[in-house]
Amino acid sequence: MVLGAMALLLIGLSLYTSLLDPLRAKLGVLTQSAYWVTDIPTRFGDWMTDRLTSKQALLEENAALREELLIHKGRAQQMATIYAENMRLQQLMNASEKVNERVLIAEIFGVSPDPLAHRVIINRGSEHGVYVGQPLLDADGLMGQVVEVSPYSSQVLLITDSSHAIPVQVNRNGVRAVAEGIGNLYQLELRHVSNTVDIQEGDLLVSSGLGQRFPVGYPVAEVETVIHDPGQPFARVIARPMAQLNRSRHVLLVFNDPARADSPADLSE
Amino acid sequence: MEFQQNPSFGLVVLSFAVAMLLSILPLPHGWAWFRPELVALLVIYWVMALPERLGVGMAFAVGLTQDIIENAIPGQHALALVAVAYFCLLSYQRIRNYALWQQSAWVFVLIGIHQLFWNWVRSLSGPAAQPLVFLVPALASAVLWPFLLIGMELIRSRVRRSPF
């Protein structure tokens, strides 16, 4: 009875006050070490794959990567010009100057065991300059944001979590919307899209930066289905996240907060 | 089913440590609901095996540790496990004499209660599970119970006979 009451008290304290937060941040180290242990099989598997790959496969992969690099380099050649041009145009429009965003490479080493929460744990924490609210990307798009930071690891809430929403716009025409997670790792839903709005299947949704949390212009999702039901006040728009939410292991943390942009972390590039 | 009576507290700690690591082991996408509540099962096992030594206090300590390790709301698992241990203490004399499958049925009820508390605390801070979906882990746990029981008894008899 007493212990049950104590448990209830703890629950109440942690839910409705922030008294326990410093303690939880400290205990995050324990969490992290436990996840580190459960990550051993994966790392061992990676190590084995590295050891047991044949020379032929490595050569082929190398050739493919070189090709890809060539393509990307070719595209990047024009970037300098386009960037400068973009800057000039923005100055013409009196827009504020864009901050050059720094990134930090991180690795996912744990997934929340709670089936209702879409959270992952990454191996970078406050010691590396990570802060609450920092956006996380993978190679294909936006993944989520940091919600809890401990010294050497942080918890990231994925964009598909049912408590998450992100302001987006359609890349084709700039229509703004809010993409909500619905607890499905492969689906986002756009909120309150009226039936007359120009959104089509296959449209790319990019972050609009309106919430001041995510930087502008990162791909978020691709519209999968648009259902116009005359009986419903709004159109039902389902989009598929661009990021490989259940596959990516190597991810990027973006430092987009201007106030923090000049507090460098050692491991940044 | 006869339970051995020898106390082996090293084994208690070790079993909970392993169970907690298994409870955060990443599962393939879509399988998360089928993860048995191994920590709760072990609480049931140890309370049934050594009811005069292990009880609600142990359940509370284990639950808090699990909350920290899973980064859940502090008290979420503690509350659920305290309830489970309490019901277990009330009923162990009868349940011990049941056949394995009957014990499994009782374990389903106990883990169901565990899930009920877990889901209730979860619902205070965010979206809760769909009705009945949160009972899937209870089903998985009930299926696992006979194997866990036989396995733990084997391990404990080995530990008792070993020269260490």
* ipTM reported for the complex, 2 dp: 0.79
Residue A14 carries which side chain, given as an amino acid letter? S
Please indicate, yes or no, if residue A63 is contained in any of the structural domains. yes
Q: Residue B84 in 3-state DSSP?
A: helix
Element (H, E) at B159: helix B136-161
- Per-residue pLDDT, A241: 93
Please indicate, yes or no, if residue A22 is contained in any of the structural domains. no
Measured between CB atoms, which of B21, B35, B75 is closest to A8? B75
Q: Kindly determine whether residue A4 and residue B83, on different chains, have CB atoms separated by under 8 Å.
A: yes
Domain that holds residue A190: 165-241
Nearest residue in B to A7, CA atom: B75
Inform me whether the pLDDT recorded for B145 exceeds 50: yes
Which tokens sit at B51? Answer: 């009811």
Alpha carbon distance A118, A166 (integer Å): 15
Q: Which of residues 80-139 of B touch A (CB under 8 A)?
A: 82-83, 86, 121-122, 124-129
Q: Kindly determine whether residue A11 and residue B76, on different chains, have CB atoms separated by under 8 Å.
A: yes
Alpha carbon distance A105, B8 (integer Å): 45
Tell me the per-residue pLDDT of A193-245, one tens digit each, with 9 for 90 and over: 988 888 999 999 999 888 888 888 889 999 999 999 888 889 999 999 999 88
Chain centroid to CA B98: 18
Tell me the per-residue pLDDT of B116-140, one tens digit each, with 9 for 90 and over: 998 888 888 777 777 788 899 999 9
Lowest mean pLDDT among A72-76, B14-18, B62-66, B80-84: A72-76
Average pLDDT across chain B, whole number:
87
Q: Are A39 and A120 in contact (CB under 8 A)?
A: no
Query: What mean pLDDT do residues B156-161 have?
Result: 78
Interface check for A184 against chain B (CB to CB < 8 A): the answer is no
Q: Are B53 and B60 in contact (CB under 8 A)?
A: no
Measured between CB atoms, which of B70, B79, B128 is closest to A7? B79
Nearest alpha-carbon partner for B39 in B70, B9, B8: B70
The residues that bridge with A166 in the sheet, in sequence order, are A179
Name chain A contacts of B90, Cβ cutoff 8 Å: none
- Per-residue pLDDT, B132: 83
Beta strands A219-227; A250-255: pairing state: unpaired
Q: How confident is the model at residue B7 (pLDDT cuts 50, 70, 90)?
A: low
Residue with tokens 């800057």: A87
Interface check for A214 against chain B (CB to CB < 8 A): the answer is no
Please indicate, yes or no, if residue A169 is contained in any of the structural domains. yes
Please indicate, yes or no, if residue A205 is contained in any of the structural domains. yes
Alpha carbon distance A53, A10 (integer Å): 51
- Give the count of Cβ contacts less than 8 A between chain A and B: 96
Q: Kindly determine whether residue B75 and residue A20, on different chains, have CB atoms separated by under 8 Å.
A: no
Nearest CA distance, A114 vs chain B (angstrom): 7
Which tokens sit at A4? Answer: 């049950």
Average pLDDT across chain A, whole number:
84
What separation in angstroms does the CA of B35 have from each of A130, A183, A245, B30?
32, 18, 21, 10
Q: Residue B104 in 3-state DSSP?
A: helix
Inform me whether the pLDDT recorded for B161 exceeds 90: no
DSSP string, B11-60: HHHHHHHHHHHHHHS---TT-GGG---HHHHHHHHHHHHSTTTSSHHHHH
Structurally, chain A folds into a number of domains equal to: 2
Measured between CB atoms, which of A35, A114, A115 is closest to B72? A114
Q: What does the H/E/C string look like for chain A?
A: CHHHHHHHHHHHHHHHCCCCHHHHHHHHHHHHHHHHHHCHHHHHHHHHHHHHCCHHHHHHHHHHHHHHHHHHHHHHHCHHHHHHHHHHHHHHCCCCCCCCCEEEEEEEEEECCCCCCCEEEECCCHHHCCCCCCEEECCCCEEEEEEEEECCEEEEEECCCCCCEEEEEECCCCCEEEEEECCCCCCEEEEEECCCCCCCCCCEEEECCCCCCCCCCCEEEEEEEEECCCCCCCEEEEEEECCCCCCCCEEEEEECCCCCCCCCCCCCC
The residues that bridge with A169 in the sheet, in sequence order, are A176, A206
Which tokens sit at A236? Answer: 């039902």
Interface check for B155 against chain A (CB to CB < 8 A): the answer is no
Q: How confident is the model at residue A264 (pLDDT cuts 50, 70, 90)?
A: very low
Tell me the per-residue pLDDT of A216-230, one tens digit each, with 9 for 90 and over: 888 999 999 999 988
Name chain B contacts of A11, Cβ cutoff 8 Å: 73-76, 79, 121, 124
Interface check for B47 against chain A (CB to CB < 8 A): the answer is no
What separation in angstroms does the CA of A205 have from each of A37, A170, B77?
37, 5, 39
Q: What's the Rg (C-alpha) of chain A?
A: 21
Measured between CB atoms, which of B68, B124, B129 is closest to A116? B129
Nearest CA distance, A90 vs chain B (angstrom): 41
Alpha carbon distance A154, A126 (integer Å): 8
Interface check for B79 against chain A (CB to CB < 8 A): the answer is yes
Alpha carbon distance A161, B54 (integer Å): 38
Element (H, E) at B123: helix B100-125
* Segments making up each domain of chain B, as ranges: 9-26+34-161
CATH number of the domain residue A225 falls in = 2.40.10.350
